[in-house]
Amino acid sequence: METRPSETRPSYDPTCYLCPGNERANGARNPKYTGTYVFENDFAALLPDVDVHPPNRHPFIQHEPVRGTCRVLCFSPRHDLTLPQMSVEEIRGVIDCWSDETSELGRKYRWVQVFENKGQIMGCSNPHPHCQIWASTAIPNEPLKEHTHQRTYWKKNKKILLREYARYEQRKRERMLLENDSWTVVVPFWAIWPFETLLIPRRHVVKLPDLSEQERNALAGILKNLLTRYDNLFQVSFPYTMGWHGAPYGTKDITHWQLHAHVYPPLLRSAAVRKFMVGYEMLSEPQRDITPEQAAERLRQASDRHFTLERK
């Protein structure tokens, strides 16, 4: 059992490093922004200029320098609003910002990772709604696995792996959660986290900037629906890690890629019981606490009207 986090926050916090007009930890001051706001992370894990040492190619120990940059994207000037509490139009502004940043950073870096850690138990140190964007000269391990497996499936079948999987789930309906003309949301068969979901465009799209106007509008709507259902499940601001995977830049053959987003929420049975990756799961392989079919059914039954609005 864990202590249930406090959900009462003001619309503006004079001590918050991310609120408009406030001073950040490094002494820089935020502008009085009224929409989305992006800035270079004051404590970046990746730097654009690093000492270039010769790579170590020993068969046991291999390393090479990686250059990059880290940015922070504030979703809104409001300190108390999360994505599911924002309007569809406001979420669309966030999607456009994701796309613009990905396009700009992709001109210089091979991989651009957009991700949000929501909630204190997911390691988010500042409750002001925001995400991060890390770009690097190397493709990280997890997307590299996806790159390899999607390419292998394409070479063998001349079909897009995730599009074929989405069609399979649409036929079966057991793990389907949400769908519209442009997007499919499913609890994947291989889900490890209790209420893990996968967002897949219905059209073949390789990168975030390639989304059409219609697809961006539809994404804003389905994201609000999905994240609202998460909050309604236990009537709490549902913590999660969410991130986008699209084709890497600087790679000629990306036909096999399909843009998608992963959502990994840790809450298991209530607002105060979470899943941990320990013991057998770290030493052998992950195990499921509930089936993906059960998770999909629980989320389908949750309302798409945010629980805080019901109290008013």
Cα 71 from Cα 115, distance rounded (Å) = 11
Burial 183-203 (b: 16+ CB within 10 A, else e): bbbbbbeebbbbbbbbbbbbb
Q: Are 185 and 177 in contact (CB under 8 A)?
A: yes
* 130, 147, 260, 306: the active-site residue: 130
- Does residue 260 carry a catalytic annotation? no
Q: Which residues are catalytic?
A: 130
